[in-house]
Structure 1
Amino acid sequence: MDVTMPPDPWQKVRTYHDIPADEVISGLQKSLRRGAAETALLLGYEMFLTSEALEQKLWARLQVIPVEDVGLGEPMLPVLIETLFQQHLRVAWPSPERFLFAAHAIRLIARAPKDRTSDDMAGFARLELVARNRTPEVPDYAIDMHTRRGIEMGRGYDHFLTEASHVENELPERDTSFRDRLQAAIAAGELR
């Protein structure tokens, strides 16, 4: 599997201080990975100063990085970054106040514990399904009342409750009273 990147249109753009834009974008992400907040901040502001289009690219990276590089290190970070993104839209570019939201996002990402497992998982999926042409298997427990084959096999609500809706890592204090009532209704013939 070829992992070379296609040509990037930002390779042809120069920033406010005449730096190749693709290098500024790359520097932003690599600095955030290393927790280098000041470097990331200055590169982010360089993007903001250059153009509204490059500011949009800044936000595109700031929205991906929390998933790609932070992951479970700070699982709610994508939600916070999306909120900051929405808030920045209320301030017209190039108002300096607009950059406050990006600065805060940069600060949050830089200081967050890092976990690149989600990106590793995505790369592994591409490797298996594309490079190795592996066909994923649908497990038997997924063949239930929501699939044609499950219906043909007569798998109804009872099968769904006992097999298809089974969860691992369930909360110990989970309230099962409603599930118990549903199973009683199945036993009484009220549900199928």
Structure 2
Amino acid sequence: MPVPHTEDPWTRVTSLRGFPADELISTLQKSVRRGLLENALLVAREMYESSGELEEVMWSRLLVMSCEDVGSGAFTEPVVVDSLYRMHERLPRGNGDRWLFAVHAVRFLAGRTKDRTTDELAQWTVHVLGSGERLPEIPDYALDMHTRRGQEMGRDITHFLTEGSKVDNELPGRDTSYRERLLAILGAG
């Protein structure tokens, strides 16, 4: 849920050219979502020039957007944006090259395929758990040598290798020879 405007400190801040900071923050995100690169860059630059604090908010929004708004299915967007953020930190404020990392991040995000599934999943879990509509389930296969109940049930490494470490969507043709060798060693012991 959004912070009430009376509690949001950015509602009381204006940028270098007189824009309300909360509106710049919102416009940055909405422009990236819509792929409006030039406006997103103008807003980002206004934030960047206004203050170190507003520059930091710009980066925090870009980092959130990399998870919340974009997705190619490869899940690499957060890694790229975080890497650009870390590179920008190596240059002091006032160094002209520092801005390039923000430009690249905005350009990257604005041009990406958009996918809000992660944000929708985040909101769904908060709502169904908070309302009590859905609660976590602890299945029998989770009770293994790593849990108190699993240990009390006598579940050991063999149980873990045959049940607790099972995976779905396994890499086809993966090398299972070490698993088989482990099970043979445990069976012989």
The letter for the 2-side match of 1:76 is T
Distance 1:19 1:74 in 2: 36
Distance 1:152 1:128 in 2: 32
Structure 1 residues 63, 18: CA separation in 2 closer, same or farther (over 3 Å shift)?
A: same
In structure 1, the residue matched to 2:24 is 24
Structure 1 residues 188, 72: CA separation in 2 closer, same or farther (over 3 Å shift)?
A: farther
The letter for the 2-side match of 1:15 is S
TM-score of the aligned structures, taking structure 2 as reference length: 0.94
Match of 1:5 among 3, 7, 17: 3
Distance 1:9 1:118 in 2: 27
Q: Deviations along 1:126-183, whole A, 9 cap, x unmatched?
A: 0011133643111111110000000000111111111111101101021101001011
Root-mean-square deviation over aligned CA pairs: 1.3
Percentage of identical aligned residues: 51
Q: Deviations along 1:49-75, whole A, 9 cap, x unmatched?
A: 100000000111111111011145451
Unmatched segments (≥5 aa) in structure 2:
none
Q: CA deviation at 1:97?
A: 1.5
Residues 144, 156 of structure 2: 8 Å contact kept: yes
Distance 2:72 2:112 in 1: 10
Structure 1 residues 14, 73: CA separation in 2 closer, same or farther (over 3 Å shift)?
A: farther
Length, aligned pairs only: 187
Matched, 1:179 2:179: yes
Q: CA deviation at 1:90?
A: 1.4
Residues 31, 40 of structure 1: 8 Å contact kept: yes
Q: Deviations along 1:72-119, whole A, 9 cap, x unmatched?
A: 545111111111111111111133211110000001101111111111
User: Bigger shift: 145-154 or 4-13?
Assistant: 4-13
Matched, 1:40 2:60: no
Tell me the secondary structure at the aligned position of residue 170 of structure 2: coil
